[in-house]
Amino acid sequence: MKCTVLTSSRSPGISGGLTYDAGKMNIKPGSHVLVPLRKELVEGIVIDIQNEKEKEEFDIKNIEELLTQQPLLNKHQIQTLQWMAQYYYCSLRQALRVWLPSKTWKKFGPQKVKGYRLVCKDIVVRTENQSLLIEYLNNIEWVSQEELKKNLDVPNSTLRSMIKNEKIAEEEREESSIDYISPEVTLPSLTPDQKKVYESIKNDKRPSLLFGITSSGKTEIYAQLIADNVRDGKQAILLVPEILLTEHCIHRFQELLGDEHIAVVHSRMTPSEKSTNWRRIHRGEISLVIGSRSALFSPLPNLGLVVIDEEHEWTYKNEQTPRYHARETAEALCRFSKAKLVMGTATPSLEAWSRAKSGTYHFATLPNRYKDQPLPTVRIVDLATVKFGSMYPFSPPLLEAIDKRLKAGEQSVLFLNRRGIASSLMCLDCRRRMVSPESNLPFTLHRDMQGKPYLMDHTSGVQAEVPSACPGCGSTRLHALGAGTQRIEEILSNQFPNARLLRADSDTLTHPEQMRLLLKKMREGHADILLGTQSVVKGLDLPKVTLAAVLVADVGLSLPHFRAGERIYQLLTQLTGRSGRSKPGEVIIQTFRPDAPEVKLAANHDTEKFLDNELLLRLQGGYPPASKMIRLIIREEGALFTRSLCEKVKIVAAKENIDLTANAAPMLFGGGKKWHILIKGNKPQEVLNKLDLKGVIVDIDPLECV
């Protein structure tokens, strides 16, 4: 029997696997084996088996050893791995990295466990402890040391004495899979609206998009679906956008299943923690895995449900090879596993929205807040009319609103959109941004070596001079928009010296435990103002918050990106969800562009209208989901190579009659050294196999295009 084996060798020439003969070994897809490679023995994973004997033109080496009886990956996981390699244009070995993220796979296999067995049943016992031990071992063949200590309180001296006298034997055995025992489940109590949505999701086999406004109770529907799944003897995965956010939902699922049946998986675990967690999941001890996108690759033996919370979040896209998106990969995994996929969000991605509209996804909605709690009122502050003095970006209405909450003993959340680092150019009179005629996206403002400003379109590579006046209205009031966040904490401390201020950003939150402590302080009323970046707008349930504010909404709107409007709308809508969850709340949006559709529709809580309008714009501009997009990233070869490759893409497309566009440009944060080619069309992947892409990074369905 011949099989294809992916070896642990990183050599690119064999990254698609090698053929070996398994002989009469009990080999399965996913089996962990030892194989000869060159002059040494290396680990390997079997990914394919050919039962028919075909004559080979070369000698096939034999598999040296089957390392574990239980395959490390099951059939459906292997199928998903193969799909990833094909769809994301990477090797099988590269795709395997996310499933077995280690240089050696031995730590993932069953480990040797110390235990005891009875040597002779006809024993004269001398003490009560010996009697208890003999009675216990008399009924079982072998017991692990851990299990024995859990069930029997016998001192080590008794064990040592009986081993020495050869009454019992100490042996090491391999860990084995356990018979899955469904945990006791505490069922959630659903409202009539939640029950209706739950039933519709449960009875539809398609992937389901759960579109529920903020604080509508999506988590309870997840809990009911997970409970059903677990009671049927299956396991589930719950994905969150980033691991810090497990802290706002983990307690709910511990109440549902119990802590011992839940595994939290994330990239910040130590290698030892990861391998221990991996083996527990693989053995079938875990009913629910919660984690960031990498948790999707947990080796659950009987997957029945995958839930993607906050489906729209950009963090579900991996920016290293394999450059997978968790949504697309979860679809494939659920298709192969015959598992249910549920995606929940208050602000669906345009991709998910278009699929729900077309019927590819089942569509379920929760239009009202839990217990009919009213949505917060939203006030828009036009920053172009504000005289800041030294208080930028705080407007008088925002400062008054913060002061009001402090006096009432209520809490405020302030959001800084730090993602916008570069500036764009905007007219303060007609509110027009300087836009590239090539891509219809905002120009980015740069300065050359001499300090002279110029405009750059990082999508198409077009450059332009900075105009002296607005092309639209002729005004000379042109303003460079930037993040403006450096002095915000200092301003708050000076303006409200008695306020208890918490900061939540990448500097202060590096571990889930820090997020847990921050949320504890907010819920227990030990803080007045939470100042933060995107962490503060994503799904946090803080009952005492009655004011939420975005300081400069335009930072996101000004990014030269076709997804800029979608992203800022999502952030603004998520922000409104932080305020007024238990008592009436308010949201303040500060912006230089109060008439921007993203701002006005977010203020009116009109998500469906925004999504429909944005989808129409994408169709007109030919951007995803109206088309497929591929990004080729060139880090070393530079401008000449990139432009030459871009021309080759166009030549191949013309020759093969493939309708696409391709543009080469320097990357926004590449310092002129990193370049990329953006390819758009109905079937752009068809050109890849006809190009020499050695040294080029291929990004399928990129979220970034700058």
Banded pLDDT at 705 (limits 50, 70, 90): confident
**pLDDT over threshold 60, residue 419:** no
Mean of pLDDT values over 673-701: 93
Strands 675-681, 628-634: pairing kind: antiparallel
- What is the model's pTM? 0.84
Provide, for the chain, the percentages of residues in helix, strand and coil under a 3-state DSSP scheme, each rounded to the nearest 5. 35, 25, 45
353 phi, psi to nearest 5 deg: -60, -45
Mean of pLDDT values over 626-631: 96
Banded pLDDT at 449 (limits 50, 70, 90): low
What gap in Å lies between CA 106 and CA 33, rounded to an integer? 10
Give me the CATH topology for the region 628-700.
Alpha-Beta Plaits (3.30.70)
**pLDDT over threshold 50, residue 49:** yes
Please confirm whether the linkage preceding 322 is cis (ω < 30° from 0): yes
**pLDDT over threshold 70, residue 485:** no
**pLDDT over threshold 50, residue 421:** no
Give the pLDDT confidence score for residue 34 in this predicted structure. Answer: 96
- Secondary structure class of 652 (helix, strand, coil): helix
Banded pLDDT at 124 (limits 50, 70, 90): confident
Domain 2-101 class? Answer: alpha beta
Give the pLDDT confidence score for residue 181 in this predicted structure. Answer: 66
Q: Phi/psi class of residue 33: alpha, beta or left (left: φ > 0; alpha: ψ in -120 to 50)?
A: beta
What gap in Å lies between CA 383 and CA 395, rounded to an integer? 7
Task: State pLDDT tens for residues 554-594.
Answer: 766 666 688 988 998 998 998 888 888 888 899 999 998 99
Among 39-43, 247-251, 280-284, 354-358, whose mean pLDDT is lowest? 247-251
**pLDDT over threshold 80, residue 135:** yes
Mean of pLDDT values over 112-135: 82
Task: State pLDDT tens for residues 326-385.
Answer: 999 999 999 999 999 999 999 999 999 999 999 999 999 999 988 788 889 999 999 989
Q: Which residues pair with 20 in a beta bridge?
A: 3
Mean of pLDDT values over 266-274: 80
Q: Following DSSP, what letter does each residue of 603-648 receive, concatenated?
A: HTT-HHHHHHHHHHHHHHHT-TTSSEEEEEEESSS-HHHHHHHHHH
What gap in Å lies between CA 262 and CA 253, rounded to an integer? 8
Give the pLDDT confidence score for residue 238 in this predicted structure. Answer: 97
What gap in Å lies between CA 664 and CA 642, rounded to an integer? 7
Among 97-106, 289-298, 383-392, 412-421, whose mean pLDDT is lowest? 412-421
Among 277-286, 430-439, 613-622, 652-661, whose mean pLDDT is lowest? 430-439
Give the pLDDT confidence score for residue 643 in this predicted structure. Answer: 95
Give the pLDDT confidence score for residue 652 in this predicted structure. Answer: 96
Give the pLDDT confidence score for residue 348 in this predicted structure. Answer: 97
**pLDDT over threshold 50, residue 484:** no
Report the residue count for the chain: 706
**pLDDT over threshold 70, residue 423:** no
Contact 517, 400 (CB under 8 A): no
**pLDDT over threshold 60, residue 57:** no
Cα radius of gyration (the chain): 29
Mean of pLDDT values over 647-670: 91
Most confident region among 352-361, 542-551, 628-637 by mean pLDDT: 352-361
Residue that the structure tokens 């999508």 belong to: 459
Structure tokens at 691: 């190009």
CA-nearest of 382, 387, 440 to 623 is 440
| Residue with the larger pLDDT of the pair 420 and 513 | 513
Banded pLDDT at 239 (limits 50, 70, 90): very high
Among 62-66, 180-184, 492-496, whose mean pLDDT is lowest? 180-184
Q: What is the mean pLDDT of the chain?
A: 88
Give the pLDDT confidence score for residue 53 in this predicted structure. Answer: 58
- CATH for 373-421+483-619? 3.40.50.300
Among 94-98, 546-550, 553-557, whose mean pLDDT is lowest? 553-557
**The CATH number, out of the four listed (2.60.120.10, 3.40.50.10310, 3.60.21.10, 3.40.50.300), of the domain defined by the range 192-371:** 3.40.50.300
Residue that the structure tokens 């696997």 belong to: 17
Q: Which residues does 542 contact at the CB level (< 8 Å), separation at least 6? A: 411, 413, 519, 522, 523, 530, 578, 581
Give the pLDDT confidence score for residue 486 in this predicted structure. Answer: 45
Q: Where in the chain is the domain with CATH 1.10.10?
A: 112-174
Contact 365, 208 (CB under 8 A): no
Give the pLDDT confidence score for residue 420 in this predicted structure. Answer: 31
How many angstroms separate the Cα of 177 from the Cα of each of 72, 318, 386, 655?
A: 11, 31, 66, 55
Angle at Cα 24 formed by Cα 23 and Cα 26, nearest 5°? 115
Mean of pLDDT values over 523-530: 92
Query: For 409-511, where are the alpha helices, taking DSSP H only?
Result: 488-495
Q: Which residues does 373 contact at the CB level (< 8 Å), separation at least 6? A: 215, 580, 581, 582
AA identity, residue 358: S
Give the pLDDT confidence score for residue 139 in this predicted structure. Answer: 80
Give me the CATH topology for the region 112-174.
Arc Repressor Mutant, subunit A (1.10.10)
575 phi, psi to nearest 5 deg: -65, -40
Q: Which residues does 73 contact at the CB level (< 8 Å), separation at least 6? A: 29, 30, 45, 81, 99, 100, 299
Most confident region among 1-15, 97-111, 401-415 by mean pLDDT: 401-415
What gap in Å lies between CA 323 and CA 698, rounded to an integer? 8
